[in-house]
Copies of this chain bind each other. A is one copy, B any other.
Amino acid sequence: MAAWSERLAGVRGVLLDISGVLHDSGEGGGVPIPGSVEALARLKRSQLKVRFCTNESQKSRGDLVGLLRHMGFDISEGEVTAPAPATCLILKERGLRPHLLIHDGIRSEFAQIDTSNPNCVVIADAGESFSYQNMNKAFQVLMELDNPVLISLGKGRYYKETSGLMLDVGAYTKALEYACGIKAEVVGKPAPGYFQSALQEMGVESHEAIMIGDDIVGDVGGAQRCGMRALQVRTGKFRPSDEHHPEVKADGYVDNLAEAVDLLLNRTWSCKRSTYGDWDTSHCVSTKRSLLTSEEPGEQAGASCTVHTAQS
């Protein structure tokens, strides 16, 4: 079992998921996850390159960034890889005219797209707009096409809002796939091309990059399949069973973005609850001192802490 120092060695770039890592979305835009505003600020002051890689498909990139900046996050539109702009490029390249099953909040992203006489369906996280009537209309459009094309912005199963877990677009995409007997094309995590775009935009090779997200499959599994490392945070949609997922094992599990940044910046290699796979490090002897260190941000940057692991 590698120590944190080894697991994080050579990382030059960090891809950050947004919902469930920076904030929990919900009423009035949601709330920041404690410690994440400061953690992002520290990360951006470091030598590491940072890019945001989201499947957000209820809000335009501009609206999302505005909301996050209002919460205090240091983020700009140009730093965000989001599925709607990526989808628009695909639609134009392939001459596709979509029927849009999307949230009104993201409609502006498709303002330049021809939606007359649709020859495909684009489905995003439509939220309350996933009415039976709207789903049925999308279904009927697909069934009338000789070669039905369904493009799904992400395939997330659910996400966490302040009010609880919420069904994500992936569930509704499965419904249309089943009803029509087709397979959707996914634009967004975990599609490899989507991660690769984000890496290119950041200018970092996959083996030098790490993904931090709350989705064990979409974030962690997807990034790892692209040759990246990936940490899962225990915020957002994280559930304890994720640490024993039958197919995906993160390169590490951390309490939140703040702890991930602490580890990346080598400020403290606490191992109290940060685990690797099924290995619980709660017996580590350095726990208390490390935790204390991480509770005093800004003071001890670069402090050298001994790394203790079960094997060390």
Which chain B positions have C-beta within 8 A of A139? 158, 165, 167, 171
Select one of B136, B157, B165 contacting A178, CB under 8 A.
B157
- Residue A312 CB within 8 A of the other chain: no
Q: Do the beta carbons of B130 and A167 come within 8 Å of each other?
A: no
Within 8 A of B (CB), among A112-144: 126-133, 135-136, 139-140, 143
Q: Residue on B with the closest CB to A178?
A: B174
Q: Residue on B with the closest CB to A126?
A: B132
Q: Residue on B with the closest CB to A176?
A: B171
Select one of B129, B140, B180 contacting A132, CB under 8 A.
B129
Which chain B positions have C-beta within 8 A of A179? 157-158, 167-168, 170-171
Which chain B positions have C-beta within 8 A of A158? 139, 143, 179
Compute how far the CA of A192 lies from the CA of B291 in the bound complex, rounded to whole angstroms: 58
List the number of copies, as a whole number. 2
**Is the interface on chain A under 10, 10 to 19, 20 to 34, or 35 or more residues?**
20 to 34
Q: Do the beta carbons of A167 and B131 come within 8 Å of each other?
A: no
Contact mask A83-107 → B, CB, 8 Å, 1/0? 0000000000000000000000000
Q: Do the beta carbons of A132 and B136 come within 8 Å of each other?
A: no
Q: Do the beta carbons of A136 and B175 come within 8 Å of each other?
A: no
Q: Do the beta carbons of B166 and A171 come within 8 Å of each other?
A: no
- Residue A164 CB within 8 A of the other chain: yes
Which chain B positions have C-beta within 8 A of A126? 132
Q: Residue on B with the closest CB to A180?
A: B157
- Residue A172 CB within 8 A of the other chain: yes
Q: Do the beta carbons of B128 and A140 come within 8 Å of each other?
A: no
- Residue A181 CB within 8 A of the other chain: yes
Most chain B C-beta atoms within 10 Å of own C-beta, residue among A128, A132, A135? A132
30 A-B residue pairs with Cβ-Cβ distance under 8 Å, sorted by A, are A127-B132, A129-B132, A130-B135, A131-B132, A132-B167, A135-B167, A135-B171, A136-B166, A136-B167, A139-B158, A139-B167, A139-B171, A140-B164, A140-B165, A143-B158, A143-B165, A157-B178, A157-B181, A167-B175, A167-B179, A168-B179, A170-B178, A170-B179, A171-B175, A171-B176, A174-B174, A174-B175, A174-B177, A174-B178, A175-B175
Q: Spell out A's residues near B (CB within 8 Å).
A: 126-133, 135-136, 139-140, 143, 157-158, 164-168, 170-172, 174-181
